[in-house]
Every structure is written in structure tokens, then in C-alpha cells.
Amino acid sequence: MDEFFLASPRGTVLAGGSYFAVPPSARKNALADLPARASGALGVALAAGHTAPVVVGAIPFAPDADAGLFVPQWVRHGPPLRAGAPGPPLPADPAGTEQIPPPPVYAEAVRLAVKRLRAGDLDKVVLARSLTIPFEGDLAPLVEALAERDPTGYTFAAALPGGRTLLGASPELLVSRSGRTVVANPLAGSAPRGADPGHLMTSAKDRREHALVVDAVAAALRPYCSTLSVPEQPSLVPTASMWHLSTRIAGELADPATTSLELAAALHPTPAVCGTPTDAARQLIAELEPFDRGFYTGLVGWQDATGDGEWVVAIRCAVADGTALTLYAGAGIVADSDPDAELAETSAKFRTTLGALHVAR
């Protein structure tokens, strides 16, 4: 595990070489002590003479799965990316794609989820599906293409165990810390880029879905902040393939020793990628999704020895294993969700990576 890249509006971070890996947890809930283990790894690096160490990598969706975090041997920081011209087509074969579950099965899962939601079992659940496409090319041009399509988003590539790579272009910042300043930017409520985005602002379904996420993020941050600003109304933000309802939440830490990973662990997973209540949503996801999410809907980011850092939600992403790319896309399901519309939303989200591959679907 020795490669990491994250480009955000804050700047770019490129790192390589594994100087010291964050050790695995002895707890069943590996997320609970992850901030302490990461801080410990940074302390070891400082004691050994490493100058300005950072922890980088990816955190999985499941709390009992170990993160892929490490202190790299070298780190380079750069300015934010600029928009560039699209590159040439990449060697992907659209004829060999496999969808899990197939679209009709996914739509039926949404119908089953809606029944549970209307019965009052939970308020929201996020259901995902995957698409695997043969791909044996160099990943660097694909990451560049993702960045060129959404230069103001969060483009990332993080090495995973087993020689795999998690890469994508997420629109969503989970949380960042710079000194005592905390920023979170939850997104929920989406529409394909070609559609009129105005209906998102008036859609009761999308506004409810968004409010559930904003309320949860604000509630999780309040115990850590002396002040917290939560706008009353969301705004619209575009990506290359989607429109999203967005709310930028900003606060000031009550205790300056609180690290960015502590905040990330308190927030993860938000209702934007799991649902609410969290435990009920996780259970329904396990029942209805026929695959292990792994690092999809987890986190990608970094933290330095002062506690500053930036953690992005791992969506609009894919996992490369040397022979194929497995893409993931999900939709937030609430009681008045329409299965066909949710299926169409996931198809539109696949286009983030498919568009970078110049594959139409």
C-alpha cells in the first residue's frame, strides 16, 4: 500500500511509499479507536525523525472492517486543479459489463425498501448497485480524466490491500479541519445533469432526504463545536453528470485538540450513504444488497500531526483490480421513492466514471 492522491478545492496531496502503517484494531468496532491509532502512527513517525508526517488512505463503509491508512515516506502538496481538455478514449470494453444486481432486481429491492419505510421501520435507506467493466489499462489517465471532468470536486486514488486501487471523483466533503475551523458539506437529493435542477428545490421527497442528512451531520458535530452555522435552505451544486442539493455547515471547535479523524469517525456513515436510523439502515442494506461494499461509501483523506485534515465520502468511485473496474452507485430511498426513478439515478451516477472512460451507457 504505497500510493495516494487527493485533489480538492483546498489543494492536491500526492503521497507514496509506506513509512509506517496504521496498525489494525483489536476491537470489533475498528472505527471507534481509529483516530487514536492514526495519532499513534503519526507520533511514532515524529519520534523516528519523520518531518511533517501525515496519515493518508481509505476507510471502509463497515465499522468492523480495518482501514487502509498509512504514513507515507514522502508527501507533495500542490494547488487546486484547473479544468483541462478531455483526453483520448481509454481501453475499456463496454461489451463485457456485468451489473449486480441486474436493473430489474435493483428496482424490486427499492420496492421492498419502500414497504419497510412506509411501515415505519426506518426513515431512509441508501441502496447501491455495481457495474463491472473489463479494464487493464494504466489508471493514471483515468484519474486525470476524472479530475478534468470535475476539477472543483474531490478526485482521489488510494491503494488498497491485494493490489487494488480505489479511485473516483466524489462531490461530497464529509469534514475538514483547519486549525479550529470545521467544515462539512452534506449532499442528498440528486438529479441527472440534463434535467431541470429547479425541481430539486421544490421536491418534497428530495428536500426530506436532504434534511435527514443535514440534521444528522449537525447533530454529530454540535458536541465538538462552540459555534455551528447551518443554513436554513440548501443550494444546488453541479457535477459533470449530476445536480445535488448541498448544505455547507461550518463551525469552530470547542477543543482545539479534536482531530479531523475524530470528527470523521463521529460522522461516518451519514444518512447520505447509509440511511437513518443507522443500525436499521445497515441491517436493511445487508438484506437487500447482494455484495460487500468494501470501501465504497467509506472515506478517503488525510490528517497531519496537528490534527488538520480533509475526509471525502467515497462515492462516484470504482475499484480497479488489474483486470476490471467495479463501479458503484447508490440512491437514497424514502417512503415516497419511485423504483424506476431511483434506478435512473444510479445509472446517471455511473456516468461519472463511464464518461471519463468515454463509455456511453
Q: Where in the sequence numbering do the catalytic residues fall? A: 124, 172
Return the C-alpha cell found at 80.
487546486
What is the rounded CA–CA span in Å between residue 293 and residue 289? 9
Helix (H, G, I), strand (E, B) or coil at 82: coil
List C-alpha distances in Å: 57 to 160, 194, 270, 311: 8, 34, 19, 10
Length of the chain: 361
Burial of 329 (0-12, 13-18, 19+ CB in 10 A): buried
Cβ(269)–Cβ(125) under 8 Å?
no
- The helix/strand count (H/E) of the chain reads as 8, 20
Cβ(281)–Cβ(273) under 8 Å?
no
Reference 215, options 188, 242, 190; nearest CA is: 188
Helix (H, G, I), strand (E, B) or coil at 203: coil
Return the C-alpha cell found at 186.
452534506
Burial of 3 (0-12, 13-18, 19+ CB in 10 A): middle
Q: How far apart are the first and last CA of the chain?
A: 32
Cβ(132)–Cβ(98) under 8 Å?
yes
Cis status, amide bond into 88, omega within 30 of 0: no
